[in-house]
Structures are given as structure tokens and as C-alpha cells.
Amino acid sequence: MSEYTPLEGITSQMIQTARLNMHTLTCGPEDGTPVVFLHGNFSSALYWEETMLALPEGYRAIAPDMRGYGWTEDKLIDGTRGMGDLSDDLAALFGALGIEQAHLVGWSLGGGVIYRFLVDYPAKALSVTLVSPVSPYGFGGTKDVEGTPCYDDFAGSGGGTVNPEFVKRIIDGDRSTDDPNSPRNVINTFYYVAPFRAAREEDFLTGALMEKMGTERYPGDLVPSANWPNVAPGVWGPINAGSPKYVLSDVPALIAAQPKVPILWIRGSHDMIVSDSSMFDFGTLGKMQFVPGWPGDDVYPPQPMVSQTRNVLEQYAANGGSYREEVIEGTAHSPHIEKPEEFNALFHGFLAVH
């Protein structure tokens, strides 16, 4: 098993919950107000360590490696439940730690887990901070701000959409820079705006490479499709769990969830992962002629991920909630890492109010 040393002040431990044994990082007073941090895909809890240590006095930071990631026990994600397994895992961690309510922070995929958590366990949330979150309508396969599927089988989403060369290099534990698809290069190209490089690049790479791999894990299985780009979602793993096939039905419940908690949405100005023209979305790649056979904007336009999120949060606010959108200039998918002072000013101010 790969190892790393947490920053001074961070405690690393395994927490046995009712569902699985979760590797969890913590810092701050045990009786402090809990703030729970959820990482994104191809990352792990350690990406939050600096943010955790920067919390104001009186807060207790908790960051688990989610199922399928980091050093947490390897158990399968049932993609047909959408984010249900990961949401239930979080509730089980609350139970194991005796947490009744917490502030929730979700980055990328972690934001998708929080959407479902607000559906299943809304009373457990004090506030929500979304950092470059996935669209509530999932990743891939939808074409407008209402999340309309491009095809009935949700082709273009799920486990078959992940670059196989990237997958191979994760399995190989590749730490090189000799190919654009190497894990290190993908992180540095898409998580940040060049020439930024994280001070803890080696630790971050180690944590990301702990992702559990395979057709039942990452990237997950697929179903052949007659619809472009000829792959539809399977049933296992986090990428299938994030397909609109399995999360679309959660959106009305998210909008209607009670009690309503305040939401802060922070994103980077130059995010190419979660974007209205994402470089990981087949609509974008087809339109740019990187994938042959694109059927055109009428059938399969780029997924307007940011606009979809805004549309859902506006409906959430219209139903009695509140949200605020903040854009940190000169950052990409990881504003909390690239510009921590700006991020923390927004984040801490939000926590102080709520």
C-alpha cells in the first residue's frame, strides 16, 4: 500500500462505520463544530489538508476517503443507486463519529454526493459549500439547462467514457511526465491553471493513484450503444453512479428538500473539467472534431454543466433556499489549492454567517 505522511496537525485514522472502514483525516478540537470535506474523482481526502488546517478556531475538520478512493476499505459502488452508496456512507460516518449536524464541503464529484445527501439527510447539514461541483444532472449525456437526455439510453455517460490510456496508466501506477495522458500530467493540466504546481504534488499524486480500479470500480462497466458515441452507462463504479441515467431523478427532490440549508458555490474561472464546454464531455470533443461521427448541436451539444447547476440552484432558492455563486479568477478545477487565501476568505466568511 502506498504511504504518505499527513501534514503536522492532521490525524489519519481508520473509522469503522456500519457500512465500511473509512480512512479519515481530522484536525481541530474534538468538540468543535464539524466541517466535513468530500474530495473529487481521481483524488482523495489529503487534497483538503491545507484547507482543513486553515479553518478558524472552534471548528473540527473531517475529511474521509470515499468508497472507491484513497485508503478506505475497497467496497463496490452500486451505480444504479446514483450517489446513494456514497451518501449513505457519509451518514454512517456521522453515526460512527457521533455527529448530528455538520457543515458540508464537496469538491467536484463530492458535490454530487452532497446533492444526494441533501435529498436523503437534509437535517444533518448546517450549510453546503460546493467547489467546482459536477452538475446535479450528472456528467455527460444531457444537452440543455433542464438536463434533457441526448438519447434514451444516456449514451456518452458512464464508465465507457473514460480515456483508456489514462486508466491503464493509473493501473500501472505511472508517475511519469512522458505522455499527456499520464496521471501527473492530467492533474497539472486540468486541476490548475499553468504554470501553477502544487507544493505537495507527490502526495497528491499518491492519493489519486489509490483509486480502486476495474470494470466494477473505476472506470466501471459499459453497455454498447447504437447511439453516438456508442457507449452507454453500466451499473458499477463512481462514473456510472454519476451518469444522468441514475441521478436525474434526484433533482426534483433536491430542489424540494427540507429543511433548506444555505449554499455557497465556488468555482474557477478556467475550469476545463466542469464547464459549459468541458474537455471531458463528448459533446465538446465531438464538436471540436476530436471524436468522429458527432451528430451535431441539435442532437448532442456540449453539456452546459455550469448553467445546469445554476438553473437547479435558482430553483432551490425559489423554493425557499439560498445560494451564492463566486468565481475565483485565474483558477481551474481546484481553486482551494490554487488560490487558498481567496478561497478561504469566501469560505470562512460563509461559515461565520451560517
Q: How does DSSP classify residue 56?
A: P
Q: What is the pLDDT of residue 1?
A: 44
Domain boundaries, position 215: 11-353
- Rounded mean pLDDT for each run of 10 residues along the chain, 354 residues in total: 87 98 98 98 98 98 98 98 98 98 98 98 98 98 98 98 97 97 98 98 98 98 98 98 98 98 98 98 98 98 98 98 98 98 98 95
CATH of the domain at 172: 3.40.50.1820
Within a domain: 162: yes
Q: What is the pLDDT of residue 152?
A: 98
Distance CA 139, CA 23 (A): 26
pLDDT at 3: 81
Inside any domain, residue 2: no
Contact between residue 225 and residue 87 where contact means Cβ atoms under 8 Å apart:
no
Predicted local confidence at residue 340, as pLDDT: 98
Distance in angstroms (rounded) separating the CA atoms of residues 35 and 56: 11
> Would you say residue 26 lies in a domain?
yes
- 3-state SS, residue 204: helix
Count structural domains, the chain: 1
Phi (first) and psi of residue 103, to 5 degrees: -75, 135
Q: Which contacts of 292-299 are long-range, i.e. CB under 8 A and separated by 24 or more positions?
A: 293/228, 293/229, 294/228, 295/228, 299/143, 299/150, 299/228
